[in-house]
Amino acid sequence: MSIQPIGVFDSGLGGLTAVKQLRAIMPHENIVYFGDTGRVPYGNRSVATIRKYAAQDANFLLSYNVKMVIAACGTVSSTASDLGEKLPVPYTNVIAPSARAAVEATKNGKIGVIGTRATINSSAYKKEIERINGEIRVYQKECPLFVPIVEEGFTAPDDMIAKLTVERYLNVLREEKVDTIILGCTHYPILKKVIGDYVGMDVRLIDSGKETAIHASKLLKEKGLLNENPDEGECKFFVSDRTEDFSNLASRFLESNIGDNVSHVDIQHF
Ligand code: DGL
């Protein structure tokens, strides 16, 4: 049993897809979230830069004495794949839990993977799927405009910019008739409705943040680190840019008002 918080980080809002799920399945856990909104997006940056940012983000969370670190970011997960080896606490990223869920979901053996440029260049999800089942065909597509669209809040199902961008990127996956798509960047589930409307209801969308949260809860249980305190857990949010913008969008996404529970952090110091 441990009342220490779970640490979750992402380049921006995307990791909230994991937080939402963590709160649903483990309401007693305390959570410290860091969104690197001052440096988002990570997805178009060099490998060296992404690795440096990932280490700083994890160090910041460790300064809050977290019992676990979750890299709720596809870009970090695929680019800084050895991050966990350097940390003194249990760690998970989004790759293995999402790949496993997709392999279990597909019926026709055709899986699409969408992510940032860095994620798709790494082929991390593809390699993991093929490691689990070499018969499956994997179709990858980078979607670099999705992150800024989410960070701008253009996420309503009828938003024309979101709809046109989804169509432009995903028509190739529709043509290949994939029956499962990994939303391999944690920002993308925020566009789930627009994506689902375009690819059709028969296509299973794997939410990488959600699958990772489920995996994290199993890991904490295995290690005897769950918080057994019956009170509702607290969430603290930190960002590296303006707190107001984050507060509004995050409250909308989490469907609960996080108000002024957001603080600024100078991430360069970590
Ligand atoms: N949520 C991040 C991911 O999962 C966004 C990456 C970015 O900042 O470009 O990849």
| pLDDT at position 249 over 90 | no
The first and second tokens of residue 132, run together, are 């689990």
185 is annotated as an active-site residue: yes
Q: pLDDT exceeding 70 applies to what percent of the chain? A: 100
Query: Which regions of the chain carry the CATH code 3.40.50.1860?
Result: 6-93+210-269, 95-208
Q: What is the pLDDT of residue 259?
A: 81
The first and second tokens of residue 195, run together, are 């994506």
Q: Which of 20, 73, 117, 253 to mutate to test the pocket of ligand 1 (most atoms within 8 A of CB)?
A: 73
Under DSSP, the state recorded for 63 is: T
Beta-bridge partner residues of 262? 237
235 is annotated as an active-site residue: no
pLDDT tens figures, 13-28: 899 999 999 999 999 9
Residue 206 Rama label (left phi>0; alpha psi -120 to 50; beta):
beta
Ligand 1: atom nearest CA of 187 is: 1
Asked whether 11 lines ligand 1 (CB < 6 A), one says yes
Ligand 1: atom nearest CA of 78 is: 10
User: What confidence category does residue 252 fall into, taking pLDDT thresholds of 50, 70 and 90?
Assistant: confident
pLDDT tens figures, 184-238: 999 999 999 999 999 999 999 999 999 999 999 999 999 999 999 889 999 999 9
Any idea which residue has 């790949």 for tokens?
99
Query: Which of 13, 73, 76, 195 is an active site residue?
Result: 73
Q: Which fold has domain 6-93+210-269?
A: Rossmann fold (3.40.50)
pLDDT tens figures, 28-78: 999 999 999 999 999 889 999 999 999 999 999 999 999 999 999 999 999
| pLDDT at position 176 over 90 | yes
Task: Note the pTM of the prediction, 2 decimals.
Answer: 0.94
Ligand 1: atom nearest CA of 76 is: 10
How many angstroms separate the CA atoms of 188 and 191, rounded?
5
Asked whether 35 lines ligand 1 (CB < 6 A), one says no
Q: What is the pLDDT of residue 182?
A: 98
Q: Which fold has domain 95-208?
A: Rossmann fold (3.40.50)
Task: State mean pLDDT over 146-163.
Answer: 93
